[in-house]
Amino acid sequence: MEQSDLSRSELKRAAARYALEHFVKSGMLVGLGSGSTAEIFVEELAREVGQGTLTGITAVATSDKVELMARTFGITIASLNDVNGLDVTVDGADEIEPRSFGLLKGRGGALLREKLVASVSKLEVIIADESKLVNILGEKMPIPVEVVPFGWHHTASRLRGIGCEPSLRLKDPLKGIPYLTDSHNYVFDCRFNPITDPVALAAAIKNLVGVVEHGIFMGIAGHIVIAGPQGVYEINH
End-to-end CA distance of the chain, in Å?
34
DSSP element (H, E) containing 214: strand 211-214
Q: Rg (Cα) of the chain, in Å, rounded?
A: 18
Q: Do the Cβ atoms of 34 and 69 come closer than 8 Å?
A: no
**Which of 144, 124, 143, 137 is CA-nearest to residue 95?**
137
Residue 119: count other Cβ atoms within 10 Å of its Cβ: 13
List 67, 95, 97, 114, catalytic entry: 114
**Which of 97, 75, 77 is CA-nearest to residue 20?**
75
Would you report the helix, strand and coil content of the chain in percent, each value rounded to 5? 35, 30, 35
CATH topology of domain 143-212: Alpha-Beta Plaits (3.30.70)
CATH topology of domain 2-131+218-228: Rossmann fold (3.40.50)
Measured CA to CA, the distance from residue 89 to residue 126 in angstroms comes to 8
Residue 74: count other Cβ atoms within 10 Å of its Cβ: 9
Blockwise average pLDDT, block size 10, the chain, 237 residues: 64 97 98 97 98 97 98 98 97 97 96 98 98 96 98 98 96 96 98 93 98 98 96 92
Q: What is the pLDDT of residue 193?
A: 87
**Which of 182, 40, 21, 14 is CA-nearest to residue 88?**
21
Q: What is the pLDDT of residue 3?
A: 43
Q: How far, in whole angstroms, is CA 62 from its chain's centroid?
A: 9
Overall pTM surpassing 0.85 (yes/no) = yes
32 has which bridge partners?
Answer: 61, 90
Known catalytic membership, residue 234: no
The CATH 3.40.50.1360 portion of the chain extends over 2-131+218-228
The CATH 3.30.70.260 portion of the chain extends over 143-212
Give phi and psi for 138, each to the nearest 5. 90, 5
Q: What is the pLDDT of residue 6?
A: 52
| Helix/strand/coil for 42 | helix
Q: With the C-alpha atoms ordered 38, 39, 45, 49, is the resulting torsion angle positive or negative?
A: positive
